[in-house]
């Protein structure tokens, strides 16, 4: 019954006029930007983060998470309508969603994606509400030793499960940890890696880093291309699902939700891994596997439910343990820290309104998406064909002004340009940027915990293997690495992620 009381507290917070308004604004803007070509969810959130600085912490987080699942939803819309995934987790939606659209059933594909996502989101919300407090209780047993081991495990898992070269991903994590060092060392007052620039004393502004690596880099890559996208589909078709559609889609939604809820807990893939896994499962279980690739509704319903469940479940490790499992969660953590809230188990007790309000808002946001998206689809369709040469200057304008508004320093804008170029170099060297972001956010916290742990153990590093909890986590990290490095898994991973060249 405590759960009900907590949820009631959450809904009271989330249903306040202001929070409801910002939730609505978040999903609306998120969907619009998700539909627009060339901006993934990380770039979108980074771009809009500064706007939320002046808001109350709860309101800011509600709006940001609204942007997140809005952007995801927008990504599936473009996947169905123009065969272009707005982001990695809607890659598989392209396969059957676009085929449905070509057969004049775009409306049905969009409906099933919306309803499947809503169902998955509702289940995920309940799961978060039910399991987060328990996980937070466990986290209270953690000291600095355990925290350091946990963050190491989180980083290893995020790298091992992601779809890129293991060595390069690790190098990028370390790169992020190093960039996180820049500024005054909190313990000694020493300036580290500031190269005499007083502006670097407080460290790199993390919004500048995120905007540079994700928005500016994307612009450099895409601006050269003439990518005027045209809609191939003439008619959307009806939004109503036939009885046969429901019979095929419903079990897929259930399975997708289950898959997403489990895989979403893992750092790394989250939403993307869930959608790939769900598609594979549906194809294998289907009585008409030959339909897949030609517009099978289960091939849309399953992955769409899975990616939404996965995306939302990935809030659990961030909210309860303070471990970001993907780039978006790293930005959310950054946003919380800006409002002086250290993500971790203490949020649940020190800020219950924020915690439960955010969870309740996820359900409300998902409901809003269903209500909002189907009627507005004609507007989204128009947004899809906005030419990139109109779009990228707009993105730049938004980024620079937003960045300037944070502290009123032009220095941060120049840093964004630097990270844009750096991000482009990484792109050419095929080094994934998300691990860098994770390392950057966790770096300072890890160094602090490492220092404290070693002070408490009188400088004896064996404390990490002597304490059972931390030893278990380190063993898990090692085991994960071994598993990933085994040749059998490597080929399997290549199958799941067909094009890991990018």
Residues in contact with another protein by the rule CB under 8 A: 51, 54, 165, 167-168, 170-171, 174-175, 177-178, 181, 185, 187-188, 190, 192-193, 216, 219-221, 223-224, 226, 388-390, 392-394, 396-398, 400-401, 404-405, 408, 410, 413-414, 416-417, 420-421, 424-425, 428-431, 447, 450-451, 454-455, 458-461
CA neighbor of 264 nearest in space, from 362, 336, 374:
362
Pairing, β 183-184 against β 191-192: antiparallel
Minimum CB distance to another protein smaller for 30 or for 121: 30
Residue 293 phi/psi, 5-degree rounding, is 95, -10
CA neighbor of 305 nearest in space, from 42, 138, 72, 470:
72
Nearest approach in angstroms of CB 51 to another protein is 6
Nearest approach in angstroms of CB 317 to another protein is 24
Minimum CB distance to another protein smaller for 205 or for 248: 205
Minimum CB distance to another protein smaller for 174 or for 465: 174
| Cβ pair 109, 80 in contact under 8 A | yes
Q: Which two tokens stand for residue 266?
A: 């893992």
Nearest approach in angstroms of CB 188 to another protein is 5
Nearest approach in angstroms of CB 397 to another protein is 5
| Cβ pair 253, 71 in contact under 8 A | no
**Residue written as tokens 């060297």?**
429
CA neighbor of 170 nearest in space, from 183, 160, 185:
160
CB atoms under 10 Å from CB of 352, counted, come to 14
Nearest approach in angstroms of CB 135 to another protein is 28
Minimum CB distance to another protein smaller for 409 or for 493: 409
Nearest approach in angstroms of CB 269 to another protein is 22
| Cβ pair 257, 265 in contact under 8 A | no
Minimum CB distance to another protein smaller for 134 or for 421: 421
Nearest approach in angstroms of CB 166 to another protein is 10
Alpha-carbon span 502 to 224, nearest angstrom: 17
CA neighbor of 454 nearest in space, from 173, 153, 140, 148:
148
Length of the chain: 502
Burial pattern 130-164, b for ≥16 Cβ within 10 A else e, equals eebbebbeebeebebbbbbbbbbbbbbbbbbbbbb
Nearest approach in angstroms of CB 391 to another protein is 10
Minimum CB distance to another protein smaller for 81 or for 177: 177
Minimum CB distance to another protein smaller for 379 or for 397: 397
**Residue written as tokens 């080929």?**
491
Residue 192 phi/psi, 5-degree rounding, is -115, 130
| Cβ pair 48, 29 in contact under 8 A | yes
Minimum CB distance to another protein smaller for 235 or for 389: 389
| Cβ pair 63, 90 in contact under 8 A | no
Minimum CB distance to another protein smaller for 66 or for 299: 66
Nearest approach in angstroms of CB 359 to another protein is 27
Minimum CB distance to another protein smaller for 81 or for 416: 416
Alpha-carbon span 273 to 296, nearest angstrom: 20
Nearest approach in angstroms of CB 428 to another protein is 5
Alpha-carbon span 476 to 469, nearest angstrom: 11
Nearest approach in angstroms of CB 222 to another protein is 9
- Longest Cα–Cα distance of the chain, Å, equals 71
Minimum CB distance to another protein smaller for 183 or for 352: 183
């Amino acid at each position: 019954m405590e759960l009900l009381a907590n949820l009631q507290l959450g809904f009271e917070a989330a249903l306040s006029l202001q929070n409801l308004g910002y939730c609505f604004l978040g999903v609306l803007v998120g969907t619009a930007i998700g539909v627009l070509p060339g901006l993934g969810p990380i770039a979108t959130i980074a771009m809009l983060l500064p706007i939320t600085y002046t808001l109350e912490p709860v309101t800011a987080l509600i709006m940001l998470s609204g942007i997140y699942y809005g952007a995801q939803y927008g990504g599936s819309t473009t996947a169905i309508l123009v065969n272009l995934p707005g982001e990695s987790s809607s890659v598989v939606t392209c396969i059957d969603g676009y085929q449905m659209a070509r057969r004049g059933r775009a409306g049905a594909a969009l409906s099933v994606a919306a309803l499947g996502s809503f169902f998955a989101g509702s289940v995920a919300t309940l799961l978060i509400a039910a399991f987060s407090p328990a996980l937070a209780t466990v986290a209270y047993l953690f000291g600095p030793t355990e925290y350091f081991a946990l963050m190491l495990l989180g980083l290893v898992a995020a790298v091992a499960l992601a779809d890129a070269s293991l060595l390069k991903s690790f190098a990028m994590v370390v790169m992020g940890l190093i960039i996180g060092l820049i500024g005054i060392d909190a313990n000694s007052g020493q300036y580290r890696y500031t190269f005499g620039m007083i502006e670097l004393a407080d460290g790199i502004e993390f919004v500048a880093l995120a905007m540079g690596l994700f928005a500016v880099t994307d612009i450099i890559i895409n601006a050269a291309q003439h990518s005027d996208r045209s809609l191939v589909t003439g008619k959307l078709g009806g939004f109503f699902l036939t009885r046969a559609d429901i019979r095929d889609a419903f079990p897929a939604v259930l399975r997708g939700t289950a898959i997403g809820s489990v895989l979403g807990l893992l750092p790394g893939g989250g939403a993307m891994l869930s959608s790939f896994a769900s598609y594979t499962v549906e194809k294998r279980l289907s009585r008409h596997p030959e339909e897949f690739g030609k517009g099978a509704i289960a091939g849309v319903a399953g992955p769409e439910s899975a990616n939404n469940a996965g995306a939302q479940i990935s809030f659990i490790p961030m909210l309860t343990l303070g471990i970001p499992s993907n780039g978006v969660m790293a930005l959310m953590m950054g946003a919380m820290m800006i409002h002086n809230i250290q993500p971790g188990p203490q949020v649940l007790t020190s800020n219950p309104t924020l915690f439960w309000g955010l969870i309740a808002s996820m359900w409300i946001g998902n409901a809003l998406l269903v209500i909002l998206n189907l009627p507005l689809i004609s507007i989204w369709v128009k947004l899809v064909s906005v030419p990139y040469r109109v779009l990228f200057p707009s993105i730049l304008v938004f980024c620079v002004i937003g960045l300037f508004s944070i502290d009123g320093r032009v220095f941060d804008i120049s840093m964004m340009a630097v990270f844009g170029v750096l991000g482009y170099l990484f792109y050419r060297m095929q080094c994934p940027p998300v691990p860098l972001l994770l390392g950057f956010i966790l770096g300072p916290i890890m160094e602090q915990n490492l220092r404290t742990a070693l002070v408490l153990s009188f400088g004896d590093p064996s404390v990490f293997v002597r304490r059972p909890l931390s030893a278990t986590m380190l063993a898990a990290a090692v085991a994960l690495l071994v598993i990933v490095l085994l040749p059998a898994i490597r080929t399997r991973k290549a199958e799941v992620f067909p094009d890991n060249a990018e």
